[in-house]
């Protein structure tokens, strides 16, 4: 997870023994996740790694122009 500088993973143990995890995409906040609660560290780690992989795949081929075009189209059609 540390190899991708485009994501910020926040994972920590909670007082009740559960774990919290969230993944933020720096270049495209729409791809960021909400904070989720897990019963153990392994589950939180697996979920976070999966989310990082998904975000990495989605952003790997995006160029700056592609993102700008998407935002303009979204604004035109969705207001």
pLDDT tens figures, 48-75:
999 999 998 888 766 667 778 888 888 8
Name the least confident of 1-5, 16-20, 33-37, 49-53. 1-5
CA angle in degrees (0–180, nearest 5) for 47-28-9: 35
Average pLDDT, the chain: 89
* 31 within 8 A of 55, measured Cβ to Cβ: yes
In the numeric block, the tokens 């592609």 are attached to 66
In the numeric block, the tokens 């559960």 are attached to 18
Tokens read off for 50: 């999966």
Tokens read off for 52: 């990082």
**Averaged pLDDT for residues 26-34:** 93
């Amino acid at each position: 997870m540390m190899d991708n500088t485009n994501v910020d993973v926040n994972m920590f143990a909670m007082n009740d023994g559960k774990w919290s995890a969230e993944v933020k995409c720096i270049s495209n906040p729409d791809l960021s996740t909400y904070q989720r609660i897990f019963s153990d560290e392994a589950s939180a780690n697996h979920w976070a790694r999966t989310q990082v992989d998904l975000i990495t795949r989605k952003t790997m081929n995006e160029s700056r122009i592609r993102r700008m075009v998407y935002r303009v189209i979204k604004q035109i059609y969705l207001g």
